[in-house]
Chains A and B, each alone.
Chain A
């Protein structure tokens, strides 16, 4: 199984980088947004958490955009590319070969995770170099990596679950984005939701996006880490896996 997955990962990776448009936009969006938001909102000092040490606003956005990158790579990319592979008959063909479904899907999720991690690294380095997004406190590397893995798995699973409800290839990008974009806004990825109405905060509490950013920021910057964030992400992961197992289809809709 490990050899199978590693082999499939290699081919998935090869194909990914050869689609320059897709690779380029996956990587450019988080950085582009980081530049846009820091330009619009300035790079002033802001408290890391109420009553906590101050950080630059760019530091806040570095983690928002890193989380956004991870979500793009795992959720958006997986959902759209799986629909593409299904409607193009690639999945059906694979189903007729001895390659076990779990090996194929594992390779796909691991590759998305790999791309997501690359994005997080690039965003953090970019923020540091360009905006001197400074990093007070100590990084809890173990917690940070745990958060990233769990977040990647959670959003990949949601991507697989959503792919099952997308009826055809053309409907892929609109449906996939319609689900995630409002959620990103309501979870404070683009604009802080500290002063937002209660219902917005509830959305942030229920869905996994805000928990992912909070956990990433807290573990990296050394702010108080809430295990409840991890718990919510884990519950979503589990739920998405259950839904995906029911909705996932191998054959194109006719």
Chain B
């Protein structure tokens, strides 16, 4: 039985009449990377800040490392690291001084230079914080969160505003954290981020969790039909599996639960008749397809 690091039951949070979180149940085990995926305004940050101790819940039970975060206990703060969505540091201290300062608040800090290396700021070590780029400041945020050697790390949209290469770097950094044995609670509105980093994903929309599971099988994604697309040469006889006529662009689509057999038959048929299958494509529904369906198209653009 894996150790439960985070346990949430029936969590609700209302602001007046507005219910930001409408009763969610989630748990995270030690060593897991858990991603809360959802569009802006879905309740990701509210849920995260309740776990971090910044917000009081309206109802439900929450346990983080065995503590109730609402109590703001010293003993809990010593064991977690927090990367807030937007946050600042003193602009006049250097990277090293900043990490050293924050590390000193914890009973067993990690060596400062080691933390700086993990987030890839080695060359900027002696630079004042105000001279760092946005991406570098975000990495410093992670370094600060790591400085106390926490067991559990909260990353609230850690790569929002990053360019693609900065995001890749950040992902590698999170992978490094997993190698260090950390448990990670991640929020993101990027599908690929959740897919790449998370062991388990929960999709949140309008304050409720609409799907939960490993990214590969989220919402029965692994059970869904595979789509095969191709364009047969003009005038070729229709393939045996298909009753339907090609679309306007001459591309045939077929859905199947048995892609291996169908592809085999299809290519066999094509070879037999000397037909070239142009734009031949076999695709599974992407996490993005699932996500857009779950969160509603009008919000899914986030």
Contacts and interface: CB of A to CB of B under 8 A. Distances in A.
Contacts of A89: 84, 86-88
B92 A18 contact: yes
Interface stretch (B97-105, B166-174, B177-185, B210-218): B97-105
Interface in A70-119: 85, 88-90, 92-93, 95-100
Contacts, number: 61
B293 interface: no
Interface stretch (B74-82, B119-127, B189-197): B74-82
Contact of B88 (A15, A88, A97, A98): A88
Contacts of A95: 54
B90 A97 contact: no
Nearest to B92: A18
Contacts of B92: 14-15, 18-19
Contacts of A90: 87-90
A8 B104 CA distance: 9
Nearest to B101: A11
B231 to A, nearest CB: 53
A11 B97 contact: yes
Interface string B238-260: 00000000000000000000000
A99 B107 CA distance: 11
Nearest to A251: B54
A226 interface: no
Contacts of B148: 97-98
B157 interface: no
B275 interface: no
A8 B90 CA distance: 12
B105 A99 contact: yes
Given A92-B54, A97-B105, A11 B93 contact: yes
Interface residues of A, number: 21
Q: Which of A8, A11, A96 has the most CB of B within 10 A?
A: A96
Interface in B250-301: none
Interface of B is mostly: loop
B230 interface: no
B106 interface: yes
B87 A98 contact: no
B52 interface: yes
A97 B77 contact: yes
Interface in B140-186: 144, 148
A92 B87 contact: yes
A7 interface: yes
A88 B86 CA distance: 9
Interface in A47-66: none
B77 A15 contact: no
B132 to A, nearest CB: 14
B84 A98 contact: no
Nearest to A250: B54
Interface string B103-140: 01111000000000000000000001000000000000
A97 B82 CA distance: 8
Contacts of A15: 90, 92-93
Contact of B89 (A4, A8, A93, A251): A93
Interface of B: 52-54, 74, 77-78, 80, 82, 84, 86-90, 92-93, 97, 101-102, 104-107, 128, 144, 148
Which 9 interchain pairs have the tightest Cβ spacing?
A: A88-B88, A89-B87, A18-B92, A96-B82, A89-B88, A99-B105, A98-B77, A15-B92, A97-B105
28 contacts: A4-B105, A7-B104, A11-B97, A14-B97, A15-B90, A15-B92, A15-B93, A18-B92, A19-B92, A85-B88, A88-B88, A89-B84, A89-B86, A89-B87, A90-B87, A90-B89, A92-B54, A93-B89, A96-B53, A96-B80, A96-B82, A97-B77, A97-B102, A98-B74, A98-B78, A98-B106, A99-B105, A100-B74
Given A14-B97, A90-B88, A96-B84, 20 more contacts: A7-B101, A11-B93, A11-B97, A15-B92, A85-B88, A88-B88, A90-B87, A90-B89, A92-B54, A92-B84, A93-B82, A93-B84, A93-B89, A95-B54, A96-B54, A96-B77, A97-B148, A98-B77, A98-B78, A98-B106
